[in-house]
């Protein structure tokens, strides 16, 4: 395989029509055929890009090819959001009577899908502590179809041992589906560790500029075709302009991730030990309880960190109020540093009982570092911390 920079720029070579260096936006909902025979062909072709945009569009195909190249996958699929990706995967691969295993610490939407929506369709779910590979083994049943993994997890930055979970899940006949949003393929490649499908919120690092909502799934051709057949029914179709924006963002992924990685590690090191800070969560810190695992399965530690303030909720509020560069906003993986108080945000998507079980403390602030200069970013936080109670 080529390097990530090359894959991001050339992964769609051959899928761009004419001599255009930047792909044209094919803003067309439908495509004409010159004959009856040709119409039947395009209407029945799996994953074609020449029939109807809900079935596929050239801009979708280009993004899918680049994501597949980055993840080392046979092929990929784009959706209108990250949740569009995982809900389509779930509806494609599950039926009543099946069982899924999901992490206790995982994106709130994934928790809601597994513990709220799927049970209404007769799919049972077990939540496990992701840091305990044996907990996955204990949760597996003969009817377990999917194991939903997220590492590092949102927002606690806990890790899952990918190789260990793949081994026990496959031995039990279950598929492993990994949310790689936090790490990005530049830092971690779940398919190489044996996972069956990898998905992302393309809204985050892949798009990278907070200007598009999108999702992607990548994996083997047979599984992706099953997901595609469901996607044309569920209809979470990405608009062509948004697919173009996602591709535009992907071109610079490896450059941006290098800076995100460097900024997050520098900030984590600068904040660790500050009297107003009780604990910094970042897989790149030797103080992270799973740092050894991070070194084994990641090539970089990602752009997100968790800062737990000594003064709890009041400390978190004071930090957020004092920051100048970092913006208080949901989402992550942006060129701009974004900070959020997860306990407040999660209350809107996860029910109270689930929220209590997540382990998200009232003093936790999630920081998604942008690509600002490291020194400016560290100075912004250290200045804000001067006014934070200890
Ligand atoms: C944001 C996010 C999602 C959901 O993606 P959307 O594009 O907002 O639907 C899923 N997983 C993780 C880890 C996320 O951060």
Predicted confidence band of residue 348 (pLDDT cuts 50, 70, 90): confident
**Count of CB atoms within 10 A of residue 313's CB?**
15
CATH number for the domain formed by residue range(s) 4-251: 3.40.640.10
The residue whose C-alpha atom lies closest to atom 8 belonging to ligand 1 is: 82
- Exactly one of 107, 189, 242, 256 is catalytic; which is it? 107
> pTM to 2 decimals?
0.97
pLDDT of residue 1: 65
Which atom of ligand 1 lies at the shortest distance from residue 85's CA? 9
Torsion of CA 114, 120, 121, 125, to 10 degrees: 30
Q: Label residue 37 left, alpha or beta by phi (over 0 means left) and psi (-120 to 50 means alpha).
A: alpha
pLDDT of residue 91: 98
Give the whole-number percent of the chain exceeding pLDDT 90.
Answer: 94
CB 346 within 8 Å of CB 357: no
**Catalytic site includes residue 54:** yes
In the chain, how long is the greatest CA-to-CA distance?
74
CA triple 209-219-62, angle to 5 deg:
50
Question: If you write DSSP's letter for every residue of 262-278 in order, what string do you get?
Answer: HHHHHHHHHHTT-TTEE
For residues 119 and 125, give the distance between their C-alpha atoms in angstroms, rounded to a whole number. 7
CA triple 332-335-337, angle to 5 deg:
60
**pLDDT, tens digit, 9 for 90 and up, residues 281-316:** 999 999 999 999 999 999 999 999 999 999 999 999
CATH number for the domain formed by residue range(s) 253-385: 3.90.1150.10
Please choose, from the candidates 165, 177, 166, 172, the residue with its C-alpha nearest in 3D space to the C-alpha of residue 90: 177
- Exactly one of 12, 98, 161, 179 is catalytic; which is it? 179
The residue whose C-alpha atom lies closest to atom 6 belonging to ligand 1 is: 82
pLDDT of residue 2: 86
Residue boundaries of the structural domains of the chain: 4-251, 253-385
Q: How far is the CA of 130 from the centre of ligand 1 (A)?
A: 18
Q: Is the pLDDT of residue 354 over 90?
A: no
Distances in whole angstroms, Cα of residue 104 to Cα of each of 112, 121, 148, 343: 11, 21, 10, 15
**Does residue 77 sit in helix, strand or coil?**
strand
**Catalytic site includes residue 204:** yes
For residues 307 and 285, give the distance between their C-alpha atoms in angstroms, rounded to a whole number. 13
- Exactly one of 52, 54, 129, 279 is catalytic; which is it? 54
- Residue 259, Cα to own-chain centre: how many angstroms? 18
Q: Is the pLDDT of residue 174 over 80?
A: yes
Predicted confidence band of residue 344 (pLDDT cuts 50, 70, 90): confident
Which atom of ligand 1 lies at the shortest distance from residue 182's CA? 13
- Helix ranges (H only) for 46-145 are 58-71, 82-93, 108-112, 118-120, 133-139
Torsion of CA 190, 194, 195, 200, to 10 degrees: 20
**pLDDT, tens digit, 9 for 90 and up, residues 193-250:** 999 999 999 999 999 999 999 999 999 999 999 999 999 999 999 999 999 999 999 9
């Amino acid at each position: 395989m080529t390097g990530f920079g090359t894959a991001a720029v050339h992964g769609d070579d051959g899928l761009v029509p004419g001599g255009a260096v930047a792909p044209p936006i094919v803003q067309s909902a439908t495509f004409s055929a010159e004959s009856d025979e040709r119409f039947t062909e395009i209407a029945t072709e799996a994953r074609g890009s020449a029939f109807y945009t809900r079935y596929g569009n050239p801009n979708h195909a280009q993004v899918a090819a680049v994501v597949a190249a980055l993840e080392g996958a046979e092929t990929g699929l784009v959706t209108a959001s990250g949740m569009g990706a995982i809900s389509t995967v779930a509806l494609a691969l599950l039926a009543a009577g099946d069982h899924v295993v999901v992490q206790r610490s995982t994106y709130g939407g994934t928790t809601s899908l597994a513990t709220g929506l799927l049970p209404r369709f007769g799919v049972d779910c077990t939540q496990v502590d992701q840091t305990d590979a044996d907990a996955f083994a204990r949760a597996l049943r003969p009817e377990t179809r999917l194991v939903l993994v997220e590492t590092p997890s949102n927002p606690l930055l806990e890790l899952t041992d990918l190789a260990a979970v793949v081994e026990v899940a496959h031995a039990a006949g279950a598929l492993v589906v990994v949310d790689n949003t936090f790490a990005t393929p530049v830092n971690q490649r779940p398919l190489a560790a044996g996972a069956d499908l990898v998905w992302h919120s393309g809204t985050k690092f892949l798009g990278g500029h907070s200007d598009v909502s999108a999702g992607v799934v990548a994996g083997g051709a047979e599984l992706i075709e099953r997901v595609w057949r469901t996607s044309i029914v569920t209809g979470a179709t990405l608009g062509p302009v948004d697919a173009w924006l996602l591709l535009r963002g992907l071109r610079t992924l490896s450059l941006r991730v290098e800076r995100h990685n460097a900024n997050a590690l520098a900030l984590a090191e600068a904040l660790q030990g500050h009297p107003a800070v009780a604990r910094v969560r970042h897989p790149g810190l030797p103080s992270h309880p799973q740092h050894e695992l991070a070194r084994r399965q990641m090539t970089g530690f990602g752009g997100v960190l968790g800062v737990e303030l000594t003064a709890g909720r009041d400390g978190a509020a004071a930090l957020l109020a004092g920051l100048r560069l970092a913006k208080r906003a949901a989402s992550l993986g942006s060129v701009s540093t974004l900070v959020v108080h997860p306990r407040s945000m999660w209350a809107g998507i996860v029910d109270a009982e689930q929220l209590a079980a997540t382990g998200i403390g009232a003093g936790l602030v999630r920081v998604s570092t942008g690509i600002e200069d490291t020194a400016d970013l560290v100075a912004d936080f250290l200045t804000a911390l001067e006014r934070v109670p200890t």
